[in-house]
Amino acid sequence: MVDPARLRTVAIEVASAAGELVAAMRGGQRRFSGAVDTKSTATDVVTAADRAAEELIRSRLAELRPADGVLGEEAGDDAAGARVRWVVDPIDGTVNYLYGLPQYAVSVAAEVDGIAVAACVVEPAAGRVWSAARGQGATLDGEPLRASATVELPLTLVATGFAYKVERRGRQADLAARLARSVRDLRRSGSAAIDLCSVAAGWVDAYFEHGLGHWDWAGGGLIAEEAGAVLRRPNADGIDPDGLGADLTLAVAPGVAAELTELLRRSGAAEI
């Protein structure tokens, strides 16, 4: 039997170790001076620290949970046949990390049958440790989290993010501009994991973004959900059942979930 509490402990251990590594490799507040490559576009970067952190996480998980599989952003999926799969983003917010901005995180989540049951998101620059276990709530540095109690859409603070490909980024910017007329304001941190955790803490009332990788939302999504937020995951089959776009991630305070979902639909989220 899988114990979510035990998996949460493992997630905290390995994410914290990776957080220490990437902070050490960062080398202060100046721009990152290590090796940097690109992936899907010239603005989609991967650093030597991303790769080193994922290698460390995989190594620790192999010691602690040798029967489990791992899906990592940098090294792919080796989880075939494993009951438990760890979903790893070694640095979420790599562009921030590259430039010296503090909004970056290590995200580690454990899934059973494709559903996250434990997670940890570590913010090395801020020293924060977010975690959750399914059915057991979410915490920040050990303190319980709760999504905001807002019930008024015009007073809803919404976080979002943008794609690396310029054509899609333009459509996302247009959608954000349409939303800005109906909500309190918009925020953009550059880290999906931190934005999802911010929903869990009530620091923002909602977060949405199209096109996230599984590793981007797996950990923070569980933390937001366990804090009481309504979570809408992307559909890997490409099906769009609610007119928001198959690859939209949405976490929102329950009191405004229906209204914000309808606003996104009316504003053309499915066309992003």
Beta strand spans in 114-204 (E): 115-123, 128-133, 138-140, 143-144, 157-160, 185-187
Strand partners of residue 248: 210
Residue 205 assigned ligand-binding role: no
Residue 216 assigned ligand-binding role: yes
* Whether the Cβ atoms of residue 250 and residue 231 lie closer than 8 Å to each other: yes
Pairing, β 69-72 against β 157-160: unpaired
List the structure tokens of 7.
Answer: 């998996």
Q: Is 80 exposed, middle or buried (0-12, 13-18, 19+ CB in 10 A)?
A: exposed
- Residue 234 CA to residue 248 CA, distance in Å, equals 5
For residue 140, the number of C-alpha atoms closer than 13 Å in the C-beta half-sphere is 19
Residue 91 assigned ligand-binding role: yes
Residue 185 assigned ligand-binding role: no
The residues near 241 (Cβ < 8 Å, ≥ 6 apart) are: 235
The residues near 1 (Cβ < 8 Å, ≥ 6 apart) are: none
Known binding-site residue numbers for Mg(2+): 73, 89, 91-92, 216
Known binding-site residue numbers: 73, 89, 91-92, 216
